[in-house]
Amino acid sequence: MSDTQTFLLDGEEVPFAPGQTVIQAALAAGRYIPHLCYHPEFKPHGSCKVCTVRADGRTAAACTLPAQAGLAVESETEELKELRHTLVQMLFAEGNHFCPSCEQSGNCMLQALGYELGVMTAGFRHFFPIRPVDASHPDILLDFNRCILCELCVRASCEVDDKCVFALSGRGIGKHLIVNAESGRLADTEVALSDKSLQVCPVGVILRKRVGFAVPIGQRKYDLRPIRATALESAPRGPQAPGPCPSCEEGS
């Protein structure tokens, strides 16, 4: 008899290892739960709520919910699909996201998730916030307009780079990304092209200069494969964990 512990995800058993969260176990087992702020290299904190599921009748963020034996988790209900759809619509409306002209089009998780969830319009009045671009650094451009407050660059800069170049300031609708320098300019920090914080932004906030459109639109990460397939492919797995199912690989 196997000692593997499992929980139910939409009626199907998902194995998990001690310490795994629901989203970690689901992705490792080839089961996709939509998400934005979750990153396998960092401790999750559930900021975007896109991965919201219903567990034993109560809603929770799958990225912070510990996997437990016998837990009954729902992810693919119409109610939760509508919630995710609305959350992504709100992110598009809150920021200045103009996908056709964005340098990250095809490499952007927000855009790819919009396609995954069937988001064709923002659905809300656009805020059109005024957020100046920081082009002070010789090699790096910051376009604050596209920030979704996932905090990945903040955590990467502090926890991995040991520099704390980025931070969030303000509260509520006024919350925004800032540069930790007296001048507020990226040029006055110790940021470097090799920093982890430059690699984790899921949208188009942190850009390397002089390499834009090096990969043509149409040949980029999410142009070639949908976000569901790429998320499952890159999910960390133990030696006994199954890989993505064939239907998930096709994004169906």
Strands, E assignment, 144-193: 166-169, 176-179
Query: Distance between CA 40 and CA 97 in Å, rounded?
Result: 25
Q: What is the pLDDT of residue 2?
A: 54
Nearest of 123, 112, 100 to residue 202 by alpha carbon:
112
Helix (H, G, I), strand (E, B) or coil at 195: coil
CATH of 85-219, one of 3.30.70.20, 3.30.1390.20, 3.40.50.620, 3.40.920.10: 3.30.70.20
Instruction: Please give the torsion angle defined by the CA atoms of residues 123, 64, 207 and 94, in that order, rounded to the nearest 10 degrees.
Output: 20
Q: What is the pLDDT of residue 4?
A: 82
The domain spans of the chain are: 5-76+223-249, 85-219
Write the CB contacts of 11 (distance below 8 Å, at least 6 apart in sequence).
none
Q: What is the pLDDT of residue 169?
A: 95
**Full-prediction pTM beyond 0.75?**
yes
5-76+223-249 has which fold? Ubiquitin-like (UB roll) (3.10.20)
Q: What is the pLDDT of residue 41?
A: 93
Alpha-helix residue ranges (DSSP H) falling in the chain: 22-28, 78-94, 109-117, 152-155, 221-224, 227-234, 246-249
Euclidean distance between the first and final Cα of the chain, in Å?
33
**Could you list the pLDDT tens digit for every one of the 252 residues in the chain?**
356 899 999 999 999 999 999 999 999 999 999 999 999 999 888 989 999 999 999 999 999 999 999 999 999 999 999 999 999 999 999 988 989 889 999 999 999 999 999 998 888 998 888 888 999 999 999 999 999 999 999 999 999 999 999 999 999 888 999 999 999 999 999 999 999 999 999 999 999 999 988 999 999 999 999 999 999 998 886 544 444 444 334 333
Q: What is the pLDDT of residue 245?
A: 44
Compute the Cα dihedral for 197, 52, 147, 206 and give only its sign: positive
Write the CB contacts of 154 (distance below 8 Å, at least 6 apart in sequence).
164, 166, 167, 168, 177, 197
